[in-house]
Copies of this chain bind each other. A is one copy, B any other.
Amino acid sequence: MSIQRIHFDDIPTFAMAPGVDARALFGERSMFNLVDLAPGSSVAPHSHPHEQLGVILKGVLVLTLDGETHELGPMDAYVVPGDVEHSATCGPEGATVRDVFTPVREDYRERASAGS
């Protein structure tokens, strides 16, 4: 793995769900995922063994973690341990969120390289 330097606007998007677009930067051990949720979009309940750290950059993210719902705004952050079920919707203006997955989501690497 070599040094990387990139502007997030230069990273192609891939679709995580209808209205949910992501830009991913892959390290060897972890990855950034910058996620834009359009108004009315959502991420269905799911889980994965990867640890997920996240922080809200813009808008409101309504995040349900293991059955408990949290309304999060800019600079709110979370840690979702592996295998914890979670889902998300967003506020009327949508939301922008930066997530980190450890280890790298190889499924996202495939989707990011295929384009949206």
Contact = CB atoms under 8 A, between A and B. Distances in A.
Nearest to A68: B3
Contact of A5 (B8, B76, B84): B76
A76 B30 contact: no
Contact of A102 (B27, B55, B84): B27
Given A79-B25, A102-B30, A84 B7 contact: no
Interface residues of A, number: 37
Contacts of A77: 4-8, 25, 32
A95 interface: no
A46 to B, nearest CB: 15
A7 B102 contact: no
